[in-house]
């Protein structure tokens, strides 16, 4: 069956399956590229969403073209969001490090700096273009959130001060994505925002940044009567690694009102174990035990003890 013979729903089902696929051995890129020019905007948007897993430099031109020229606002926004993957890749790269003779080998899988800078400039210019729709500008802020850069920090601050709640929400999202403690006071304040959408975004940001200072407030929010707020607070509480979070999360794994809450609490407890340093302590204890057992004097003592038996 060819792509053209598929119905819209069949295409959408396929693309959604790709999004949730756990099979990382199959290269879906050739198929996704075919769907970028599908006549249906929902199909195009899903194809672009799937491109997040393929941070290939040759896709940048496709995404910028879609962000600028696609007739569908949703497709344009999806393209802008997906360009954020290249900001992440550039942030993870170490362009200033001199690898010497290993330069070519060590940078083989690294996003070229010129491509990173091109995407960065496109997103910054898009945000600063007041003639662009608000959604496109705010998604540019979110895409830039990975980048720890003074100009981007200024953009996030400007977006946070914007009168439209949607732009403010994207700014809080970018604060979380940056994982930077510079936003601590702002996130803590927004945890008590009466507007649910801003409060929920602040809860997520507190978790992403790993704010132990938010622990007490997140603990309080795990008692919220609003289910969305409660679930987000449970997960974020685990991410903070706050020392006193264990008791509440452990309680929710047993006494949570329903299965979903108990499952989220269990996952959050695993996150807490990681971020609290508990797992690190366990690894250190294992290393110490291994070193102790490998000690020659200890080996002699153990042999003598066994001989006595």
The mean pLDDT of 109-124, rounded to a whole number, is 95
Q: Is the pLDDT of residue 265 over 70?
A: yes
Q: Is the pLDDT of residue 293 over 60?
A: no
- Give the number of other Cβ atoms within 10 Å of residue 236's Cβ: 31
- Which residues have CB under 8 Å from 123's CB, separation 6+? 80, 83, 84, 87, 140, 143, 144
**Helix/strand/coil for 1:** coil
Tokens of 109: 């899988």
**Helix/strand/coil for 139:** helix
Lowest mean pLDDT among 30-39, 115-124, 183-192, 272-281: 272-281
Reported pTM:
0.84
Percent above pLDDT 70 for the chain: 84
pLDDT tier at 99, thresholds 50, 70, 90: confident
The residue among 294 and 172 whose pLDDT is bigger is 172
pLDDT reported for residue 298:
54
Tens digits of residue pLDDT in 149-195: 999 999 999 999 999 999 999 999 999 999 999 999 999 999 999 99
Tokens of 286: 């294992």
Tens digits of residue pLDDT in 53-82: 999 999 999 999 999 999 999 999 999 999
Q: Mean pLDDT score of the chain, rounded to an integer?
A: 88
pLDDT reported for residue 123:
98
Lowest mean pLDDT among 5-14, 115-124, 229-238: 5-14
Question: For the chain, how long is the longest CA-to-CA vector?
Answer: 87
Tens digits of residue pLDDT in 253-264: 998 889 999 999
pLDDT tier at 308, thresholds 50, 70, 90: low
């Amino acid at each position: 069956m060819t792509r053209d013979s598929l119905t819209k729903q069949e295409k959408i089902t396929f693309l959604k399956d790709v999004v949730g696929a756990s099979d990382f051995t199959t290269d879906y890129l050739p198929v996704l590229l075919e769907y970028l020019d599908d006549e249906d905007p929902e199909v195009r948007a899903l194809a672009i969403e799937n491109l997040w897993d393929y941070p290939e430099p040759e896709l940048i031109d496709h995404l910028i073209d879609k962000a600028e020229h696609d007739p569908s606002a949703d497709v344009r926004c999806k393209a802008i969001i997906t360009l954020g993957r290249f900001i992440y890749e550039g942030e993870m790269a170490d362009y200033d490090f001199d690898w010497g003779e290993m330069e070519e080998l060590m940078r083989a899988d690294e996003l070229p700096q010129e491509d990173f800078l091109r995407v960065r400039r496109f997103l910054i210019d898009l945000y600063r273009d007041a003639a662009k729709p608000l959604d496109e500008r705010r998604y540019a802020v979110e895409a830039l959130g990975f980048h720890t850069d003074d100009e981007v920090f200024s953009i996030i601050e400007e977006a946070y001060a914007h009168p439209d709640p949607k732009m403010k929400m994207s700014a809080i999202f970018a604060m979380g994505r940056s994982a930077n403690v510079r936003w601590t006071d702002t996130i803590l304040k927004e945890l008590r925002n009466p507007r649910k959408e801003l409060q929920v975004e602040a809860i997520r940001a507190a978790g992403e940044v790993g704010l132990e200072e938010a622990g007490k407030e997140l603990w309080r929010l795990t008692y919220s009567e609003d289910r969305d707020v409660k679930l987000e607070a449970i997960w974020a509480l685990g991410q903070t690694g706050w020392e006193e979070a264990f008791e509440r999360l452990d309680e929710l794994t047993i006494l949570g009102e329903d299965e979903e809450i108990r499952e989220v609490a269990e996952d959050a407890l695993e996150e807490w174990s990681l971020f609290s340093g508990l797992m690190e302590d366990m690894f250190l204890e294992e290393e110490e035990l291994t070193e102790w057992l490998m000690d020659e004097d200890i080996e002699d003592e153990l042999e003598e003890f066994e001989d006595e038996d």
